Amino acid sequence: MGLEWYITRRVAWAVIVTFIIVTLTWALLTAAPNPQVSQAATQAALQGGDPAEARERARELRGLDAPLHERYIDYVTGVYTLEWGWSESRNQPVTEALLESLYYTAQYSIPWTILTILLGPLVGIYSAANQYSWKDHVATGFAFFGYAIPNFFFGIILLLVFGVYLDVVPIVYNTDVAVFSLENAIQLVLPVFVLVTGSIGGTMRVSRNESAEYINADFVKTATAKGVSPLRIYARHILRPTMVPLSTTIVAQLLYLFVGSSLLVEVVFGIPGLGQTTFQAVIAQDTSLVLGSTLFFTFIATVGNLLQDVVYTVLDPRISFDER
């Protein structure tokens, strides 16, 4: 019952955290002036009408004249039933706009996530196995380079080199090509490379430091003396304990890059994903779409932290579920 009860409590806590964030978002949205209402009043004043009357009419059309508790209940109900309003800038429901954007974000975020999870720990363990050699220095230098250089700047440099001067990748993202095609792979290789370079640095450094503690451990020497193959030693006796603290680092790094850097990367490469949709919504003052994007990123962060706790608990057999 220990594991099931722990997961149930973590899921319940994730729901509570989401509810708190939704409530705070509603409070900030209510306190902020509505741009559509202000625009209606300004337009009425320019046309010689009554700004106050236009403002009240706009408030009535958007239900802003209702009592606060009714507006709060309607808002929370709409959030959990995925009725997130209408996007004025895209002229479609917010959920539909986000799903269309997610389609393009997933095309580069899925391979980026898979490559980061696979390459980060492996490069770190390989570096630890060749400590202080030229191989270790090359891997460490690559990690520090990816960690230090801004993703948007690196993306611009790569786009100039491979898109403008060498002309081997398209400068403008083409949404008409098939997902599983060579053309799509070519136009996504640079965004994936930029994000993998930025995320693999921290993962590699943590896995190198953690695995270095186990390479010379007594249980590894015992396994080597018994004739266990090096592949089994690194996969079973070194990689698994290394993944326990690394699981928290991977989730935190991927969430940070997904929420922050994906916006910059999509703007640089012209990918119409979630990041660019949020950016365009902010410029257009599309409150409903900005709010929907915020709720979506909040949901991703909450689920990611939940998976992080569950993975951490499953990987470490020393953890007692009954005490948590």
pLDDT at 3 over 80: no
pLDDT digits (tens, 9 = 90+) for 78-102: 877 878 888 878 888 888 888 888 8
Q: Which residues pair with 87 in a beta bridge?
A: 92
pLDDT at 261: 63
What phi and psi values does residue 10 have, to the nearest 5 degrees? -65, -40
State the Cα–Cα distance between residues 162 and 153, nearest whole angstrom. 14
For residue 139, name the pLDDT band (cuts at 50, 70, 90): confident
**In the chain, alpha helices (H):** 2-31, 35-46, 51-61, 68-80, 94-129, 134-148, 151-158, 182-215, 218-225, 230-232, 239-256, 262-269, 274-283, 287-315
**Residue bearing the bigger pLDDT, 70 or 314:** 70
pLDDT at 204 over 60: yes
pLDDT at 260: 62
Residue type, 49: G
State the Cα–Cα distance between residues 232 and 224, nearest whole angstrom. 10
Burial of 178 (0-12, 13-18, 19+ CB in 10 A): exposed
Angle between helices 182-215 and 262-269 (to 10 degrees): 150
For residue 288, name the pLDDT band (cuts at 50, 70, 90): confident
| Token representation of residue 153 | 């700047």
SS3 92: strand
pTM of the model as a whole: 0.75
- What would the mean pLDDT of 184-206 be, rounded to a whole number? 85
pLDDT at 133: 85
Contact 136, 125 (CB under 8 A): no
Residue type, 248: T
Other Cβ atoms closer than 10 A to 167: 9
pLDDT at 254: 65
